[in-house]
Amino acid sequence: MASAAAVSFHQTLPPPLQHRRLGPTPPRCTHSERGVSFDPGSAFYRSESAPGRDLAVLAATIHRRRRLDPSGPFLCLDAMCGCGIRALRYLAQAGADFVWANDASDALRPVVVGNLSRFEPEPLDGQRRWVVSHLDATRLLAERYLRREYFDVIDVDSFGSEAEYIRAAFLALKIGGLLYLTSTDWRSARGYGGKCSLSSYGAYVRPVPYPNEIGLRMLLGGAAREAAMLGFHITPVFSYYAYHGPIFRAMIQLRHGKEDGISNYGFICHCKSCGQTQTFGFHELGQISCRCADRTVGTDVRTWEFYFSSFPFLCING
C-alpha cells in the first residue's frame, strides 16, 4: 500500500468531474479570516472555528517543508468544504500546489468556485491549482484510492459521529500524510451515546468528570483501530477541543506498518468512590480494582465499583 507518485489531475479526472471553467465573477467579499477574503454565501460558517483552521494550516505548512520529497507537488483534499474557506487557506497560506474542494451539496458550487477563483481565476500553463466536486465524501475518497491519486493532507470537517469515511481517507492518504478529523458527538463523549460511539469508534463510554478529553481520545482511538485494520499505525500531531458545538478535532499522521505491541492502547477506569482515574491494558482485564478498595472480609463491594470506559487511552507524546 505504498503511496504512488503524484498524478496529473487534469489528465486523469473522470469525465463527470471535467467541468469547463467559465470564469465566473467572484461574489462580493463579505468576510475575512486571517487576511483571506471570501463569501460564505448560504453555507454554514462559524468564525469561532477559525482557531481549528489556523492549526490545520500551520500543520500543513510544516508538513510541506518536512516531507520526504519537498520538491514534489503538495496535494490537499477538503472532503466537506462548505463555502471553501479551508481549501482557500490551504492554497493561499499553506503553499498547496493543488487543492480538491468537495461538498455534497451542489447548490454551493457557485460559492465555492467564486471563492477559489479569487486565488487563481485561470489555470497557469494548463495546470489546475484546484477543482470542485459534489460527491459523498466516502465515495470521493474511495475513487481517489482506486485511481491511485494520493494526497499529502486530507481534511474532513464532518458533523456528528459519522466515521465511515476514516478508512477511505486513510486509503487516499500518502504514507506520512496528515489526516484532520472532526467530531461533534458530545453525547458519546459524555457517556450518553454508548451504542453510537461503539459502532462509530469502537468505544463504550460511561459518564466521567473529563468528557472533553474523553471525546478526543475516543476520536483518536477510532482512527487507530481503522489504521491497524489496514496494516498502518498513526501518530497524533495535535488534538483540539472547542467549546462551541462542542467540537473535537485531531490531526494525525499515517505511518507504515503496525506498531509493535499494544502499550498505548487500552482502557480508562474512573472510580466513583474516590474519584481517581487509572489506565489498564488488555492483559489486565479481570484484575481491575481501585487502590482505595479495602479488600478485607466484609467490605462493601460498591466502594470500588468503576465507571469502565472501553476505548483506547492512546498516550500522546508530542
Q: What is the pLDDT of residues 33-58, one digit of tens each?
A: 999 999 999 898 889 999 999 999 99
* pLDDT at residue 142, as a whole number: 96
CATH number of 34-260: 3.40.50.150
Q: Give the pairing of strands 267-271 and 247-256.
A: unpaired
- Check residue 38 and give its pLDDT: 93
Q: In residues, how long is the chain?
A: 318
Lowest mean pLDDT, pick from 5-14, 279-288, 308-317: 308-317
Which residues, in sequence order, are CB contacts of 255 under 8 Å at separation 6+?
A: 175, 176, 232, 233, 234, 235
User: Residues 162-189: what's their mean pLDDT?
Assistant: 90
At residue 153, the pLDDT reads 98
Q: What is the pTM of this model?
A: 0.82
Other beta carbons less than 10 A from residue 95's beta carbon: 14
Percent of the chain with pLDDT over 90: 44
Q: What is the mean pLDDT of residues 138-157?
A: 96
- Residue 160: its pLDDT value, please? 67
d(CA 84, CA 63): 21
Would you place residue 303 in the very low, low, confident or very high pLDDT band (cuts 50, 70, 90)? very low
Residue 286 CB partners (closer than 8 Å, separation 6+): none
Taking each helix axis from N to C end, the angle separating 194-201 and 211-229, rounded to the nearest 10 degrees, works out to: 30
pLDDT at residue 283, as a whole number: 80
The overall longest dimension of the chain from CA atoms, in Å, is: 82
Sorting pLDDT into bands at 50, 70 and 90, what band is 194?
Answer: low
> Which band of pLDDT confidence, cut at 50, 70 and 90, is reported for residue 115?
very high
Region of poorest pLDDT, from 10-19, 138-147, 150-159? 10-19
* pLDDT value for 273: 82
Q: Write down the residue that cell numbers 482515574 correspond to.
A: 277
In degrees rounded to 5, what are phi and psi of residue 49? -85, 0
Please say if the pLDDT value at position 313 is more than 70: no
In the block, residue with C-alpha cell 484546484: 130
Q: Nearest CA to 84 among 53, 111, 46, 66?
A: 111
Lowest mean pLDDT among 34-38, 112-116, 311-315: 311-315
Among 150-159, 203-212, 230-239, the range scoring the smallest mean pLDDT is: 203-212
pLDDT at 121 (0 to 100) = 60
In which residue are the cell numbers 480494582 written? 289
Helix or strand holding residue 124 (H, E): none
